[in-house]
Amino acid sequence: MPQTRSIDGVVFSSQHCEKRNSPRGTDTKMKHLFSPWRSAYIKTFNERRHTSGCLFCRILKGKGKKADTTNLIVWRGKFCFVVMNRYPYNSGHLLIVPYRHISSFVKLSPEEHSEIMIATGNCIQALEYISKPQGFNFGANLGRTAGAGIDKHVHFHLVPRWNGDTNFMPVLSDVKLISENMNTLRAKLSQKLNMVK
């Protein structure tokens, strides 16, 4: 079991470090680091090969409960919506997204900023009620250089965290299990979030 620690939401794992001999003696160099945003970012590249346009704008065009269920949308507000990340870092990894196709964080309107923050708070409460996480990572990658997979449509990640959850790759390898859990969790989140609307 690798040793792990998290600094500002970035998870460092000892299995991804290597010891090297340097002229000054043995030191430890970080080969890779994992973060929730990075995992989602890589997956979105695979998606883009098969689709065109903005993923968020595309799923928003779906109408009705059935479309939202298929697209994993859990809540629609006045200025933003909440969707589950199809390639989650952790169970319950949510994306809070303004309706407006806009890349700039600073150009979001006060109404958009406000509703995004309120929706994030509601998501935290819903996840705490349903999944009882012990912490959360919340943030955004602004720009491709910063790791944004969909850099033209600003969005925010909310990732629930549990002690010892950092060894996530074996979980992600079982696609069927994740898929079933996501549908169940989507239904629970949607019910809870729409109660507080």
**In the complex, which residue's CB is closest to Zn ion?**
54
Does position 100 interact with Zn ion (CB under 5 A)? The reply is no
Q: Is 155 among the residues known to form the active site? A: yes
Q: Which is nearer to Zn ion, 57 or 124 (CB)?
A: 57
Q: Under 8 Å CB-to-CB from 163, ≥6 apart: which residues?
A: 134
Q: Does 56 bind Zn ion (CB under 5 A)?
A: yes
> Is 54 one of the binding residues for Zn ion (CB under 5 A)?
yes
- Burial, 188: exposed, middle or buried (Cβ in 10 Å; 0-12, 13-18, 19+)? middle
Least distance CB 108 / Zn ion (angstroms): 13
| Cα distances (angstroms) measured from residue 22 to each of 13, 19, 26, 27 | 22, 9, 6, 7
Dist CA 105 CA 95 (whole Å): 15
Among 32, 113, 153, 155, the active-site one is 155
Task: Kindly state whether residue 79 participates in binding Zn ion, applying the rule CB under 5 A.
Answer: no
SS3 of the chain: helix, strand, coil, percent, to 5:
40, 25, 35
Residue 57 interacts with Zn ion (CB under 5 A): yes or no: yes
Q: Which is nearer to Zn ion, 101 or 188 (CB)?
A: 101
- Interface residues toward Zn ion, by CB under 5 A: 54, 56-57, 101, 153
Residues with a known catalytic role = 155
